A and B are shown apart, each in its own frame.
Chain A
Amino acid sequence: MQAIFAIIAALIVVSAIGAISFRNLVHCALSLVVTFCGVAALYLQLGAPFAGWVQVLVYVGAVAILIVFAILLTRSDENKPEPIFGNNWKAGGVIGLLLFSVMVYAITRDGLDSTPLPAKPELTVREIGVDLMTQYVIPLETMALLLTTAAIGAVIIAIRLCNPESSADSDTHAKAAGSVEATH
C-alpha cells in the first residue's frame, strides 16, 4: 500500500509541476490531465470510488477538454520565443514556498497520526443518493441553478453574433462584393 501511494504521489507531483512549467500550452494541459487521473487514483485508494469516477468523468472528460479548446482558440504566433514567467515571478515563488512551509508545520505539529485507521467505510451509491435527496437537497438544487446560470452565461460571454450594422464589417462586405463583381 505504501508503494502504491508513493508511486501515485510521485506521479501527481511531477505532473502538477509539469502542468505549470511547460513552454507549450498543450503540454501543460495534458500534464494536468495526468494530475487529474492521479488524484482520481488516490480517491479510489481511499475508498471513495464514486468520487473517483466522477473526478474522471467531469475533470478529464469536460474541464480538460474546455481548457484545450480555449488554448486552441486563443493561439498567438508560436515562432516568437517569449519568456514564460511574468513580471512578478519571484514574488509568486516566494509566496508558494512560504505557504507550503507554514502548512507543513501546521500538519506535523500535533498528534494527527495517533488515531488508528478506522475500517474501510462501504459507501454505496444508494446512500449517496439518499443523502442528496434528504440532507443535501438544497445544495443540490442550488447546484442545478448554478450550472444552468454558468452554461447560459458562458454562451452569452463567448458568443459572436453576426452584426451587419457595424461599419468595419460593412466596409469589408463592400470590398468583397466589389471584388466578386470585378471577376465576373
Chain B
Amino acid sequence: MPRPPVRLKPLIETKMIPLSYYLILAALIFCVGMAGALMRRNLILTLVGIELMLNAANLNFIAFWRYNPSAASHAGIMFVIFSIAIAAAEASVGLALVISIYRHYKTINLDKIDSLKG
C-alpha cells in the first residue's frame, strides 16, 4: 500500500504580523538615520545616516509589496533593486567627495568646514 506523501509542519506556526509593525519599524530607522545625519559632526556619519534612511524606505516598499492584495504587480521589488543600485552609486560619489574634502581642509569635522557660511 503506498504511503501518503509526507507533509512536514513548519517549525513555528505562522501568525500574521500586521503591516503597521513593519511601517513603524521603517519609520524608526528613518528617524534614527535622520537624527544621526543631523546631530553628528563627522561628514562620514552623515553618509551613514543617509544609507539608513534609504534602507528604511526600501523596507517600506517591500512591506507594501508583500501586503498588496493585487499580487501581479512587481513594482515594489523592482523599485528596491533600482534603489539599492542608486544607493551604491551615491555612496561611491559621496565618499570620493569626502576624501577630496579631507585633502583640502585636512579635517572632516562639519563645524570647521564652514568657509562658505554667512
Closest approach, in angstroms, between the C-beta of B48 and any C-beta of chain A? 6
A150 to B37: give the CA distance in the assembly, Å.
Answer: 22
**A contact residues around B71 at 8 Å (CB):** 118-119, 121
Q: Is there contact, CB below 8 Å, between B84 and A50?
A: no
Q: Is there contact, CB below 8 Å, between B41 and A84?
A: yes
A3 to B12: give the CA distance in the assembly, Å.
Answer: 9
Q: Is there contact, CB below 8 Å, between B35 and A146?
A: no
For B100, give its contact among A2, A13, A67, A158 (CB under 8 Å): A158
**A contact residues around B109 at 8 Å (CB):** 82
| B-contacting residues, A80-104, CB 8 Å | 82-89, 91-93, 95-97, 99-100, 103-104
A157 to B107: give the CA distance in the assembly, Å.
Answer: 17
Q: Is there contact, CB below 8 Å, between A143 and B78?
A: no
Q: Which of B's residues lie within 8 Å of A, judged by CB?
A: 12-25, 27-42, 44-45, 47-49, 51-52, 55, 58-59, 62-63, 65-69, 71, 74, 76-78, 80-82, 84-93, 95-100, 102-103, 106-111
A176 beta carbon closer than 8 Å to chain B: no
Q: Which of A's residues lie within 8 Å of B, judged by CB?
A: 1-5, 9, 12-13, 16-17, 19-21, 25, 28-29, 32, 35-36, 39, 42-43, 46-48, 50-51, 54-55, 58-59, 62-63, 66-67, 69-71, 73-74, 76, 82-89, 91-93, 95-97, 99-100, 103-104, 107-108, 112-113, 115-119, 121, 123, 127-128, 131-132, 136, 139, 143, 146-147, 150-151, 153-155, 157-158, 160
**A contact residues around B36 at 8 Å (CB):** 19-21
Q: Which residue in chain A gives the minimum CB-CB distance to B34?
A: A96
* 23 pairs of residues in contact across A and B, judged by CB atoms under 8 Å: A1-B13, A19-B48, A20-B35, A20-B52, A36-B55, A39-B55, A46-B65, A48-B77, A55-B58, A55-B84, A58-B87, A59-B51, A62-B88, A74-B108, A85-B41, A87-B41, A92-B37, A92-B38, A96-B31, A103-B23, A128-B77, A143-B86, A153-B96
A28 to B89: give the CA distance in the assembly, Å.
Answer: 21
Q: Is there contact, CB below 8 Å, between B90 and A74?
A: no
Closest approach, in angstroms, between the C-beta of B92 and any C-beta of chain A? 5
**A contact residues around B106 at 8 Å (CB):** 76
Beyond the given A48-B66, A59-B55, A99-B34, could you list 20 further A-B residue pairs with CB under 8 A, ordered by the A residue number? A13-B32, A17-B32, A32-B52, A43-B59, A50-B77, A51-B77, A58-B85, A63-B51, A66-B95, A67-B47, A74-B99, A82-B109, A86-B40, A107-B23, A116-B16, A118-B68, A128-B78, A131-B78, A136-B82, A139-B82
